[in-house]
Amino acid sequence: MFSASPILLADLFDRFRLQLPDPIVNWLTPVWILCIGATIGLILTAALWGIFWLLSRIPGVGTLADDSTRRWTAIGILTIALFGVFAVLYTNASNHPANPPAAAAGAQAAPAQSLDNAWVYAGCLAAALLTAAAIVILSSRKALAETDIALREGVLWPLLITALVMAGCAVFGLFIVRKPMDLLDSLARWPVIAIEGNPTWSPKLEAVPPGSFEEPAEQIIDVQFRRDEIRRLSVTSDQHVRLRSDQFNSTADPATTLALDIPAGETKIWRREEASANPFRQTVVTKLYAKNLGNAPATVRLTVMRRIANPEMLLAPVMAVSMAIIFFAYLLQRAAFPKLAAVALSTAKSDIAQPLYAILMAGGIFGLIVFVFIPYNTFGDDIKQLKDSGLSLILVLCVLQSVWAASSSVADEVEGKTALTVLSKPVSRRDFILGKFFGIGWSTGLMAIIFGLLLLVTVAYKPIYDYREGGYEINHQAMNNDPTWHDCHREMVQTVPGIVLAYLETLVIAALSVAISTRLPSIANFLISFAIYVLGHLTPLLVQSQVVAQQLPPVVFFGRLIATVLPVLDHFNIQASVAAGVPVPMQYLVWSLVYCGLYSAIAMLLALTLFEDRDLA
């Protein structure tokens, strides 16, 4: 009965599916996957909150965070345990057969590999510390009791509304997307494949009796894998063996049949190309056919490398985890630093309520929509210009909002004596400055999320629009058919790193702007922040230019001096790579996050130093 349920649901969705044009369906499919991620994010967040609630009911756990000594002791013990778990998982992943050791690449790679491992273990330690702190603090009954208030105040409320709207679109999209149950089945298979790994079989093949001149008999190898999940087949044998996906006397087209000839002691690898036909006939492959051409029994080793049938669905868990991180980061800040969180909440609510915020939001939404229909006249590369223009618009508007917010919430409050009133309460200067920075970060983060989601939707639609206009190309080859939903999804996903880096750059400039606002008025803050933005993007060009190095050495020295003192904002500028469709490795995003955190921390130390002896009277 349970196995028939997905089939019944698939028939239901097919029967009531809206008959929309194929291009519209291809555009909405990646958007639907994004909405599925938001739906899973809501479920994941609710489930984690329920786990924290259950932990808080355990005697002693719900009040563990109330006492400082017990809290830090619990965090320390839990950090050590989690670090051990993360380290074991990383070690097992690095020793996986799919990841060859660095020694195979040569002795010169060993020091670099050791350094990389050291950084990874340091990252595991930091992740373990943050996770332990979140578990201990968020398991507090006091923290959980304030969840309802936290949801209705600040940025969580508009984010929750956005997530609920996306969840509704995910349900409605079940009647728009083609074969939604197959896509959801791929997503459900992802944890199964991750846990089970790549299956391996070691069958024995009998040899032809000595002195016999008969053709080796066909033998069956029992296997178990899905035809749409196989990506690579590795075969090793100690005898000469032939392997086929069909019987040897089959009349099937050889071009669509897997046939491998494995000499003794060698390894043959078959890879499935994306555009090639699948050589396996059955949905679940249970048999392979082999012949032993050697003079002794053969021991064959088969390893199947798998991935889910629709890897595009992996965008959904990434979206879900990101939502959960944002939600619990807000709750953790509120529970761990209540005074700082109060200042941050007041700052974020004040920024969002200002007319300039609404103007920037409206202008950004209008610009991102209009960019789709602007003819860039690039002979098939209009989508590159859309990505570049969209990311630039998001960066400029977020930077403008952050600098203005720093000026109005720090400089204007200091000049207007409002800060003196706030600090007369049990709020320290450290909580005041850090609260201002985090409040600006939350308000600009809300803006970046709204703009980012809209940019992803428009980028997914751009291939459809350009094809209708006769200008969409893939790898400089003109499309002969409508772009598929895979094409739309690829263009959309390639834009995500640019949005993340644009927000990280905004945080760096916001931190410097807060530091400047502690001493200088709004006009000076705008001018200096603008100069930092320009120099942060210009100095790498001056330092790396060979012409400038040969003809103007003082300029290079000055550029290196500025690059040492000021942030190198060009590290966050990958718009050219995003526009060209070049994949951005996760490692680059992690290092950019580390750079953003370190420089923002330095800027906050400078802000606290400048604000510590500032006369507010």
Residue 599 CA to chain centroid, in angstroms? 22
583 is written with which tokens?
């994949």
Instruction: Write out the E strands in 255-333.
Output: 259-262, 267-271, 284-292, 298-306
Q: 552: buried, middle or exposed (CB in 10 Å: 19+, 13-18, 0-12)? A: middle
- Confidence grade of residue 60 (pLDDT, cut at 50, 70, 90): confident
Beta-carbon contacts of 46 under 8 Å, excluding residues fewer than 6 positions away, are none
Place of tokens 């906050």: 604
Residue 262 backbone phi and psi in degrees, to 5: -110, 105
Q: Among 10-19, 67-76, 360-369, whose mean pLDDT is lowest? A: 10-19
DSSP 290: E
Span 314-331, mean pLDDT?
Answer: 93
- Which of left, alpha, beta for 581 (phi over 0: left; psi -120 to 50: alpha)? left
Report pLDDT for 2. 39
What's the half-sphere exposure (Cβ side, CA atoms, 13 Å) at 64? Answer: 24
34 within 8 A of 456, measured Cβ to Cβ: yes
**605 has a pLDDT exceeding 80:** yes
Place of tokens 């940025």: 155
Q: What is the C-alpha to C-alpha distance for residues 308 and 190, in angstroms, rounded to an integer?
A: 6
**554 has a pLDDT exceeding 90:** no
**363 has a pLDDT exceeding 70:** yes
Span 401-430, mean pLDDT?
Answer: 81
Span 237-255, mean pLDDT?
Answer: 85
State the first-to-last Cα distance of the chain, in angstroms, to the nearest integer: 76
Neighbours of 224 (CB within 10 A): 11
Q: Give the amino acid at 119.
A: W
Span 489-498, mean pLDDT?
Answer: 92
**238 has a pLDDT exceeding 80:** yes
Q: What is the C-alpha to C-alpha distance for residues 558 and 542, in angstroms, rounded to an integer?
A: 9
Q: Are strands 241-244 and 259-262 parallel, antiparallel or unpaired?
A: antiparallel
Quote the Cα angle for 450-454-456, to 5°.
120
**Taking the CA atoms of the chain, what radius of gyration do you get in angstroms?**
29
Q: What is the C-alpha to C-alpha distance for residues 444 and 61, in angstroms, rounded to an integer?
A: 35
Neighbours of 57 (CB within 10 A): 10
* Of 327 and 257, the one with more pLDDT: 327
378 within 8 A of 385, measured Cβ to Cβ: yes
Span 168-178, mean pLDDT?
Answer: 91
Q: Give the amino acid at 390.
A: G
509 within 8 A of 533, measured Cβ to Cβ: yes
Q: Among 330-334, 524-528, 545-549, whose mean pLDDT is lowest? A: 545-549
- Confidence grade of residue 3 (pLDDT, cut at 50, 70, 90): very low
Report pLDDT for 411. 79
**356 has a pLDDT exceeding 90:** yes
Task: Read off the pLDDT of residues 17-40 as tens digits, 9 standing for 90 and up.
Answer: 778 888 899 999 999 999 999 999
300 is written with which tokens?
């064959």
Q: Give the amino acid at 125.
A: L
Q: What is the C-alpha to C-alpha distance for residues 556 and 545, in angstroms, rounded to an integer?
A: 9
DSSP 61: T
Q: Among 27-31, 163-167, 384-388, whose mean pLDDT is lowest? A: 384-388
**447 has a pLDDT exceeding 50:** yes
Q: What is the C-alpha to C-alpha distance for residues 61 and 53, in angstroms, rounded to an integer?
A: 10
Place of tokens 């610009």: 367
Task: Read off the pLDDT of residues 324-351 as tens digits, 9 standing for 90 and up.
Answer: 999 999 999 998 898 999 999 999 999 9
Q: What is the C-alpha to C-alpha distance for residues 248 and 121, in angstroms, rounded to an integer?
A: 51
Report pLDDT for 581. 73
Report pLDDT for 560. 65
449 is written with which tokens?
């999320």
**105 has a pLDDT exceeding 60:** no
- Confidence grade of residue 547 (pLDDT, cut at 50, 70, 90): very low
DSSP 520: S
- Confidence grade of residue 562 (pLDDT, cut at 50, 70, 90): low
Q: What is the C-alpha to C-alpha distance for residues 136 and 589, in angstroms, rounded to an integer?
A: 28
Instruction: Write out the E strands in 452-531.
Output: 473-474, 477-478
- Confidence grade of residue 534 (pLDDT, cut at 50, 70, 90): confident
Beta-carbon contacts of 520 under 8 Å, excluding residues fewer than 6 positions away, are 411, 528
- Confidence grade of residue 113 (pLDDT, cut at 50, 70, 90): low
What's the half-sphere exposure (Cβ side, CA atoms, 13 Å) at 584? Answer: 27
Report pLDDT for 1. 39
382 is written with which tokens?
């209009």
Listed ranges 399-413, 494-508, 518-532; the one with the highest mean pLDDT: 494-508
Question: Contacts from 143-148 at CB under 8 Å and sequence distance 24+?
Answer: 143/65, 143/331, 143/334, 143/335, 144/49, 144/52, 144/53, 144/56, 146/334, 146/335, 147/49, 147/331
Q: What is the C-alpha to C-alpha distance for residues 394 and 354, in angstroms, rounded to an integer?
A: 19
Span 86-97, mean pLDDT?
Answer: 70
Q: Among 240-254, 294-308, 563-577, whose mean pLDDT is lowest? A: 563-577
Q: What is the C-alpha to C-alpha distance for residues 305 and 438, in angstroms, rounded to an integer?
A: 45
* CA distances to 8, 63, 129, 333 from 142, in Å: 46, 8, 21, 13
* Of 407 and 504, the one with more pLDDT: 504
372 is written with which tokens?
């789709």
Average pLDDT over all residues of the chain: 84
Question: Contacts from 69-74 at CB under 8 Å and sequence distance 24+?
Answer: 71/136, 71/137, 74/132, 74/136
Task: Read off the pLDDT of residues 189-229 as tens digits, 9 standing for 90 and up.
Answer: 998 888 888 899 999 988 877 766 677 888 999 999 998 89
Q: CA 41, 43, 49, 51: dihedral to nearest 10 degrees?
A: -120
- Per the DSSP assignment, residues forming a β-bridge with 536 are none
Place of tokens 């949005």: 499
Closest C-alpha among 334, 444, 353 to residue 400: 444
Report pLDDT for 248. 85
Q: Residue length, the chain?
A: 617
66 within 8 A of 142, measured Cβ to Cβ: yes
- Confidence grade of residue 378 (pLDDT, cut at 50, 70, 90): low
* Of 251 and 13, the one with more pLDDT: 251
571 within 8 A of 539, measured Cβ to Cβ: no
Task: Give the DSSP H/E element, type plus range, for residue 378.
Answer: none
DSSP 408: I
Residue 213 backbone phi and psi in degrees, to 5: -110, 15
Q: Among 124-128, 276-280, 345-349, whose mean pLDDT is lowest? A: 276-280
Report pLDDT for 6. 61
* CA distances to 28, 420, 476, 500 from 462, in Å: 12, 52, 16, 21
Closest C-alpha among 225, 175, 230 to residue 19: 175
